[in-house]
Structure 1
Amino acid sequence: MFTITNKEFKQLADYIKINYGIHLKEEKRTLVAGRLHNVLIQNNFKNFSEYYKHILSDKTGDATATLINKITTNHTFFMREAEHFVYFKDKVLPYLKNMLKDKDLRVWSAGCSSGEEPYTLAMIIDEFFGKEKMWWDAKVLATDISTKVLEEATKGVYSNEEISTLPCNWRLNYFKKIGNGKSVPVDRIRNEVIYRKFNLMDAVFPFKRKFHVIFCRNVMIYFDAQTKRELVNKFYDSMEYGGYLFIGHSESLNRQETRYRYVMPAVYRKE
């Protein structure tokens, strides 16, 4: 396996931190070298210095896309931290249904990984509104920096074991079997999720209208305190008053530093 020197690791770590906010600690050095090993072999690079120069000089974006696909960890599953979805269904949606006279509900799944979270949100919204859903614009925006997981999410192919944690009526109503023990969301759900590549480190978020709900769970664990603080401020500025921010249970916001009000573990509100 290729050895990565202190200088080479620092170059890559600094590049990833500046451009994507991900803070790679020293203990991740072996992991980084291992995940990038085949990339160096396939491109005939002699060392990580050559690879780093290639990243900087590549104008196509392919090199950085490969780097991010290799470095990021995209572990998720249906109904992860399920109490968030219960709160979204029982508290958030009833409030927004009464508040939004224009019937324009804006939900963002930031760091959507392979699609389990945004599809779950789409199913909850569909079930909640029922026949009234046809009068609502309630699509879910789902974003990630990894082209690999966005491709997986767009295809939406899940094993029957992966969807086994979902309620039985959801599996029957919202999925169709495609053989080989695989299922995909029905078009009614698939069409309610819009997938886009997006970097949360962008200085300005380009959204024309503000969100009512933002899910960004188990993403900020990879950021240092300043990056996390800056991102939360951007979320706040991109959210309507009365909106909700859901983060991962392993994450928390400093109540002295955030303008959000704490609601319950890993749930905050803009007031």
Structure 2
Amino acid sequence: MKEFLMTDEDFSSISQRVYETCGIVLGPHKRDMVYSRLARRVRANGLTSFAEYLALLNEEPNTEFSHFINAITTNLTSFFRESHHFDFLHQQVIPELKIKHRTDKRIRIWSAGCSTGEEAYSIAMTIANAFPTDWDVKVLATDLDSNVLHKGQEGVYNSASVTGLDSEHLKKWFMCSSDGTQYKAKDVLRSRVFFKRLNLLEPWPMKGPFDVIFCRNVLIYFDKETKDRLFDNYHQLLAEQGYLFIGHSETMGKEHLGFKNLGKTMYQKVAQI
């Protein structure tokens, strides 16, 4: 018997709240996951049921709502995950950007759904040595979850989290703790990445244009209508001939004529027909 009662009505209310807020679809198969993640919040607030927790969300949204969303969102990530994207960034994109921006010397890359920062720092390491110091090169890292953003800003990772980094990257970009259990990103790396909280379904404050957008393993949580709207928004914010990278299990429909499919979940903005 479970610790707290979650009725069908409770789960439906939670699912609807999550969908309306951030577009994530929680089907019936996600019920156990929702229970395990939110049970911690029910317990932390000294409540006895999910009905009481939903009442608390309505009564004190400013206090509890961020905890609610942070508990639901998934934050699985690693350094240089799906490495072919970073190979393409290094071999194909960077040489193009050097030519394209030789006058304004301004490069902007966005990691949308950055989680705890591994993706954003991987981008920063990839581009770090490619441009002279007088170039204005920045990586924007956004996520819905304020907890993971804080971890990304701190830039501290345990030894298990840095397995995707070789010894050269670790030595150059991270400081190791005396006991070898933690690695902290050096200031020179952290200064290249700017972490901001952003709900992808709310108005976006940034104007762009971005040369590259990473939105990987985020779209899997959205329904088709939401995905299509996000693809359109990304297209608007991308610079001409800019690139969009999505996750290995994600797809873009052929109806999005503003993107050219390059294979391996990589897309390039083209003039719409």
Q: TM-score, normalised by structure 1?
A: 0.94
Instruction: State the number of aligned residues.
Output: 266
**Alignment match, 2:94:** 93
**8 Å Cα contact 1:233/1:258 also seen in 2:** no
Alignment correspondent of 1:207: 206
Does 2:219 correspond to 1:220? Answer: yes
Distance 1:254 1:224 in 2: 13
What's the CA shift string for 1:31-59, capped at 9, x where partnerless?
Answer: 11121112112223332222112212324
Gap regions ≥5 residues in structure 2: none
1:43 partner amino acid: N
- Alignment partners' CA distance in 1, 2:142 and 2:104: 25
Structure 2 counterpart of 1:247, one-letter code:
I
Provide closer, same or farther for how the CA distance between residues 165 and 46 of structure 1 changes in structure 2, counting only shifts above 3 A: closer
Q: What is the CA-CA distance between 1:217 and the residue it aligns to? A: 0.4
- C-alpha distance in 1, partners of 2:99/2:166? 27
| 1:53-132 matched pairs, under 5 angstroms | 53-60=55-62, 62-100=63-101, 101-129=103-131, 132=132
Tell me the SS of whatever aligns to 2:206: coil
Report the 3-state secondary structure (helix = DSSP H, G, I; strand = E; otherwise coil) of the residue aligned with 2:110.
strand
Distance in 2, Cα, partners of 1:268 & 1:233: 13
Tell me: CA distance 1:159–1:42, structure 2 relative to 1, closer, same or farther (3 Å): closer
Give the percent of matched residue pairs that are identical in Structure 1 and Structure 2. Answer: 36
- Maintained 8 Å contact 2:216/2:246: yes
Rounded to whole Å, the distance in 1 between the matches of 2:146 and 2:12 is 25
**In structure 2, C-alpha distance between the alignment counterparts of 1:76 and 1:91, rounded to whole Å:** 24
1:177-196 equivalent positions in 2, closer than 5 A: 177-180=176-179, 181-196=181-196
Q: RMSD of aligned C-alpha atoms?
A: 1.4
SS at match of 1:106: strand
Q: Which runs of 5+ in 1 are unaligned?
A: none
Pick which of 13-22 and 33-42 moved more.
Answer: 33-42
**Pairwise CA distance, 1:163:** 2.1
- The 3-state SS of whatever aligns with 1:218 is coil
Once the two structures are overlaid, the 10-residue window that deviates more, 22-31 or 154-163, is: 154-163
State the AA in 1 paired with 2:199. N
User: 1:157: how far off?
Assistant: 1.1
Give the match for residue 173 of structure 1. 172
Name the amino acid aligned to 1:44: G
Closer, same or farther in 2 for the Cα pair 1:201/1:90, shift >3 Å? same
**Cα distance, 1:258 vs. partner?**
4.8
Match of residue 138 from structure 2: 139
